[in-house]
Amino acid sequence: MKESATPKVILVVDDDEDMRGLLGAMLESEGHTVRLAGSGKAALGEVATNSPDLVLLDLVMPGIDGWGVIERLKEHAAPPPVIAMSGMGRDEALRRGAVSRHISGYLSKPFTRDVLLRTCDGVLRAAQGSPGVELANRRQQPRRDLVMQGTLLSKRGTPLALGQIMNLSRGGAYLDIGAQLQPDTEVALSFAIPGIQEPFRLSGRIRWCRDNQVGLAFAELTPEEEDNLQQLVEPTE
């Protein structure tokens, strides 16, 4: 794993006490200052008192759920970035807001310590204005910094590499995959978003690969893939 960003204040919001404790311990091991909230109401109180650098937010909670917290955070002049967490397919109602412009990253439970830290690090870096290298041919296109785990697949659907998506545009994506892949290779990018039953899948071609980072250009997308990409890059909410 790369050297992590400067330690920050991270608010962990989850109604499961054991999960809060586990996530807090993982983040504190990297030097971050962690605050814990067991409900949406408590989370909003923490943000109002002293806004954190990042919110790690469970979407499914009793009372004010994760979506309720996000709605309230939108009222803030400078809301902290949010990483949404949820078990896949646990609640169909999550579909109504699973793709949100107010979410900076996604974690589908269960996830590993490495995935947690890499996602938090990526979102924090993006919030500081350094999301990474962009594809030259899409710098003028709408681009969204959105950090989540993704898998590059071969044309036959065989997994090639697992890595971290750092941003998306309608033209392509930037990924940190920890491996070298041959430019011009035809691939598919697959990733999951909490609350969406089927993984998103986008066809493309590797444009460049250096220092274990990949620039992916999307090509020959189906109408369904185009719709999925549109939802992600330019949410309509």
62 falls in which pLDDT band (50, 70, 90)?
Answer: very high
Q: Is the peptide bond before 159 cis (omega within 30 degrees of 0)?
A: no
Mean pLDDT across the stretch 186-213?
87
Q: What is the DSSP string of 112-155?
A: -HHHHHHHHHHHHHHHTT------GGGTTS-EEEEEEEEEEE-T
Cβ contact 79:72 at 8 Å: no
Kindly report the CA angle at 51 between 48 and 54, in degrees rounded to 5?
135
pLDDT at 3 over 60: no
Q: Which amino acid is at 222?
A: T
Q: What is the pLDDT at residue 37?
A: 98
Cβ contact 167:70 at 8 Å: no
Instruction: List beta partners, residue 149.
Output: 164
17 falls in which pLDDT band (50, 70, 90)?
Answer: very high
SS3 48: helix
Give me 68's structure tokens: 């309720």
With a CB cutoff of 8 Å and minimum separation 6, the contacts of 50 are: 9
Cβ contact 184:142 at 8 Å: no
135 falls in which pLDDT band (50, 70, 90)?
Answer: very low
Residue 213, φ and ψ in degrees, nearest 5: -120, 145
Cβ contact 37:103 at 8 Å: no
Query: How does pLDDT run across 89-127, given as a tens digit for each residue?
Result: 545 445 556 778 889 999 988 889 999 999 999 999 888
Mean pLDDT across the stretch 182-200?
86
pLDDT at 183 over 50: yes
Cβ contact 60:87 at 8 Å: yes
Cβ contact 63:41 at 8 Å: yes
39 falls in which pLDDT band (50, 70, 90)?
Answer: very high
3-state percent breakdown (helix, strand, coil) of the chain, nearest 5: 25, 30, 40
